[in-house]
Chains A and B, each alone.
Chain A
Amino acid sequence: MSRFPRFSFRDKDLPPLSCRVGRRGRVLDLPLIAWLTLIWVLLWSTFNLANIITGVIVAAAVCLAFPLPPVDLGLRLHPWGILRLAGYLLYDMYTSGVKVTRQIFAGMPHRAAVIGVPLRCRSDLMLAAVAVAVSNVPGGSVIEMRRATATVFLHVLDADRPEELEAARRQVWRLEELTVRAFGTADEIARVAEPPPPPQLTAGRPAP
């Protein structure tokens, strides 16, 4: 190994956007260093050259001291998809917030339920992102996530009416589609473009 850093556009063995430094050939992830530098600069809350240089040094030192395994997470950023996701999240926060507020002040006892919603995406990062998006809306709280069957289990208020349950499921599927379109790889997007899986046998079971 050479003493100088080798960037990935020279060296085809490296993962994209990374460089290899030192004699032991540690691999540094350049977007991660940029992100850590941005946080460093924002913590100092002044934007000047000294902050950027110390930020790069600290970020590289942290990445060398605590190395991450070189895996491809499958994270792709689609700017238009991110904008659509943010807009839909805001809209959904508003409508679900109104719904939860109405249930708070309704005063009548509602019946809650735990429903399972099968998802279409399969990668770990996408499942985690969908769970984060679903729990950020006031209507859904994720209890459990099954990785093998890619099912997310939600606690929903107001489960007496079947149309509310269907609305909750459709909301999760819509959020899933938007999240994968914002962050997913191409085959995940193709998987999400299919219609949602048919409801399970236990869905919409009448009350005991």
Chain B
Amino acid sequence: MNVWIQLLDTAGALLVLIGAAISLLGVIGMLRLPDVLSRSHAATKPQTLGMLLVLAGVALRLRTGMDLATLALIAFFQMLTGPVASHLVARSAYRTGQVDHGELLFDELDEQLTDGK
């Protein structure tokens, strides 16, 4: 078999491994960070970067047109629907008072909401 194709396979496997490691780092961040909004920062990482790397690795190993299109569609929809959930979680965390306002350094949204009343 051709050496280059083998190298492509190995590069794909390496990308999958890097993506899995980044997902693990993000999950460790979700365990270590103190409050909901900080955790949502760490949660973005496995959702976008880790998953994109894994999908790119799979695409490098499979290499057929239909599979590439499906993988691109998976990545597209994941990046389209992830922010909806994270924004709603952040918004309702802020609005239901689960954010410790004393911990924040300053808060420009709070000033606007209080002024708007």
User: Is A2 part of the binding interface, using a Cβ–Cβ cutoff of 8 Å?
Assistant: no
Q: Chain A's interface: helix, strand, loop or mixed, by majority?
A: mixed
Convert B24-44 into 0s and 1s, putting 1 for each residue whose CB lies closer than 8 angstroms to a CB of A: 011011001111011011101
Give, as a whole number of angstroms, the nearest-CB distance from B69 to chain A. 6
- Say whether B49 contacts A93, CB under 8 Å: yes
Q: Contact at B108–A141, with CB atoms within 8 Å?
A: no
Q: Given A153-B109, A155-B37, are A112 and B86 also a contact pair (CB < 8 Å)? A: no
Q: CB of B7 within 8 A of chain A? A: no
How many residues of B are in contact with the other chain, CB < 8 A? 44
Total residues of chain A contacting the partner, CB 8 A: 46
Q: Bound complex: CA of A144 vs CA of B33, how far in Å?
A: 22
Interface window among A6-14, A18-26, A39-47, A189-197: A39-47
Determine the chain A residues whose CB is within 8 A of the CB of B83 once the complex forms: 131-132, 135-136, 142
Complex Cα gap A38–B72 (Å): 12
Answer yes or no: B1 CB below 8 A from chain A CBs: no
CA distance A94 to B49 in the complex (A): 8
CB distance from A5 to the nearest CB of B (A): 28
Do A97 and B22 form a contact, CB below 8 Å, given A136-B44, A139-B41?
A: yes
Could you say which residues of chain A place their CB within 8 Å of the CB of B67?
A: 45
**B-to-A contact residues, CB < 8 Å:** 22, 25-26, 28-29, 32-35, 37-38, 40-42, 44-45, 48-49, 52, 65-67, 69-70, 73, 79-80, 82-83, 86-87, 90-91, 94, 103-112
